[in-house]
Structure 1
Amino acid sequence: MSMKKTIQNILSQEDLNFLLTNRIPRNTLTRFIGWFSQIENPVIAYISIQVWKFFSALDLSEAKSQHFKSMHACFTRELKPNARPINQDFNNLVSPCDALIGAFGRVSNGEIFQAKGFPYALEDLIPNKSLAKSYEGCEYVTLRLTSSMYHRFHAPTAMRIRKITYISGDTWNVNPIALKRVERLFCKNERAVIECEIDHPDKGIENTTLTLVPVAAILVASIRMHCINLLFHLQYKGPNEIDCEVAVTRGEELGWFQHGSTIIVFAPKNYRLLPSLNLGDNIRMGEALFEYSPER
């Protein structure tokens, strides 16, 4: 067995993985990596990216550039044109990012699940109580970005961004091991709540509010939003409510994570997750995620 495989097998042990990625000074390490990753030195960048490749399935073949002046530039890399075709069916909401399906279901009694047996109150995740309550009976999906994935996120459909609420928080790891051990994890971590109004041809649609909740994590705690030209980070204390009125097109880039993390998508009423999608499935940005189902 190769050394790489041996190390990966060791790190995959749940107790050790949880210890190494959570029982450490998370915020201090996150700030350090945030600083280190932006050092613009070709030697440091090259070595850092090679180490990253050793511990993950990092594939840069789709990257717009193959030369990175820093590890941060590699984290936030752009893709080649047309690397992610956008589904153009207006009855579909597309995935805002490359991700694994981590959890999905319907909001029931104000609760959703971060993992099997681990429910949490939607009002703990979304500070706006009326917004949280409006999703009762609606469907949601948790999209988990791994460290090696494309880290930019995009608009699921043509829509207007109405408000962004930033909540400063902790930086727990958001991998499945931590989600099975730390209750209300997403509600503890740094996150942004992006309230949007979708543009749909059916003007009689009951509810057109779509909400995206990007959640940061260890080594990740910075969320860049283009529409308000801000980089949210651990020192940007929250909650902070920022009203905006920004129209975006289907598939338009909204921002990026500095590493990898999670986006929870709350669909309007009458939308359902595609029946073909299952837990653990890999989905790419631009692929159909929810479909309009007016009979519901």
Structure 2
Amino acid sequence: MNKATDSLTFSEQVNFLVTNRLPRRWLTLFIGRFSKIENPIVTKLSITVWRWFAEDLRLDEAKKSTFTSLHDCFTRELKDGARVIDNTPSVVTSPCDAIVGEFGEVINGKLYQAKGFPYQINDLIPEVNISDKYKNGKFITLRLKSSMYHRFHSPIDCAVSQVTYISGDTWNVNPIALKKVERLFCKNERAVIDLHTGSEQHHLTLVPVAAILVASMKFHFIEPTLDMLYQGPNKIGCQQSFNKGDEMGYFQHGSTIILFASANYKFCEQLQKGGRVNVGNPLLQGHPVN
């Protein structure tokens, strides 16, 4: 057994069993349907139960104070001005509210989801023309807790011409599961969004990863919702430009976004594993200034 697994406490082991040994696909499909029930009593009870498991759930930042369904609450918008975007041209900002997980250098195509659990970037991003740009680049893992704001935004001025959808499992992506399930991110449903930065030397790519109770990603710039029922093409073309901070889409619960950057970017000094970041906070420096 891996040492990382041995180091888990009894409560962490129980958490893992409860959240990952259940029939994940069935439970995820059920929650997806249940969360969209528009009934005031069901909605109120659901949010109350949610608060029991997420004591840090803050709804005072939400644009509206009442919700039609649990899904409506999960995907809530924030009040104007609730997030401040760092508009320094050379700075790449956080695309989401998140807890910073592993981050660092990609070395010969290898990176880590947790200490002692490496995976290959080609397993996460099968498109070689994209993954090869980061074989010796940088990565930042951003975990969205279920209580957090679930919408994600553009980290830089950019354009997107394609979304690649990769179907898969719905393992929990919390730190406990990351210590136990090898190559977890490579097994879960995910999307690859290559950002065209306008520079041939500076590359950025977002990989949103779905998880149990989520398995649904909605991008505003393509028509289909990418979820477990989606049966369309894996590569979905589009033509969309974004300014830094523009909203790109949302998850239905909590999940993870992995940000990849070419080697010529530098991590901001304030970036810390386990630290909290919000949409618009600086993550990387070194973006070319026009």
TM-score of the aligned structures, taking structure 1 as reference length: 0.91
Question: Over residues 145-178 of structure 1, what are the superposed CA-to-partner deviations in whole Å (9 max), with x where a residue is unaligned?
Answer: 0000000000001100121100111000000000
Task: Output the CA distance in 2 between the equivalents of 1:14 and 1:250.
Answer: 38
- Corresponding residue number in structure 1 for 2:114: 115
- Corresponding residue number in structure 2 for 1:226: 220
Question: Over residues 39-95 of structure 1, what are the superposed CA-to-partner deviations in whole Å (9 max), with x where a residue is unaligned?
Answer: 000110000001111111211010000100100000000000010011000100000
- Corresponding residue number in structure 1 for 2:132: 133
Percent identity over paired residues = 54
- Corresponding residue number in structure 2 for 1:65: 64
Give 2:215's aligned amino acid.
A
Structure 2 residue matching 1:142: 3-state secondary structure = strand
Q: Answer yes or no: is 1:284 the counterpart of 2:253.
A: no
- Corresponding residue number in structure 2 for 1:217: 211
Task: Output the CA distance in 1 between the equivalents of 2:10 and 2:103.
Answer: 24
Residues 82 and 163 of structure 1: is their aligned pair in 2 closer, same or farther, counting only changes over 3 Å?
A: same
Task: Output the CA distance in 1 between the equivalents of 2:233 and 2:18.
Answer: 29
Task: Output the CA distance in 1 between the equivalents of 2:287 and 2:34.
Answer: 47
Residues 180 and 237 of structure 1: is their aligned pair in 2 closer, same or farther, counting only changes over 3 Å?
A: farther
Q: Answer yes or no: is 1:82 the counterpart of 2:98.
A: no
When the two structures are aligned, how many residues end up with a matched partner?
A: 279
- 5+ residue gaps, structure 1, are 1-10, 200-204
Residues 239 and 186 of structure 1: is their aligned pair in 2 closer, same or farther, counting only changes over 3 Å?
A: farther
Task: Output the CA distance in 2 between the equivalents of 1:129 and 1:172.
Answer: 25
Moved over 3 A (4+): none
- Corresponding residue number in structure 1 for 2:92: 93
Structure 2 residue matching 1:77: 3-state secondary structure = coil
TM-score of the aligned structures, taking structure 2 as reference length: 0.93
- Corresponding residue number in structure 1 for 2:6: none
Structure 1 residue matching 2:52: 3-state secondary structure = helix
Task: Output the CA distance in 2 between the equivalents of 1:130 and 1:241.
Answer: 14
- Corresponding residue number in structure 1 for 2:268: 274
Following superposition of structure 1 onto structure 2, how do residues 99-178 of structure 1 map, counting pairs within 5 Å? 99-178=98-177
Task: Output the CA distance in 2 between the equivalents of 1:208 and 1:188.
Answer: 28
RMSD: 1.5
Alpha-carbon deviation of 1:229? Answer: 2.4
Aligned with 1:46 (options 36, 44, 47): 44
Question: Over residues 79-124 of structure 1, what are the superposed CA-to-partner deviations in whole Å (9 max), with x where a residue is unaligned?
Answer: 0001001100010000000000011011111111101111001000
- Corresponding residue number in structure 2 for 1:242: 236
Residues 270 and 209 of structure 1: is their aligned pair in 2 closer, same or farther, counting only changes over 3 Å?
A: same
- 5+ residue gaps, structure 2, are 1-8
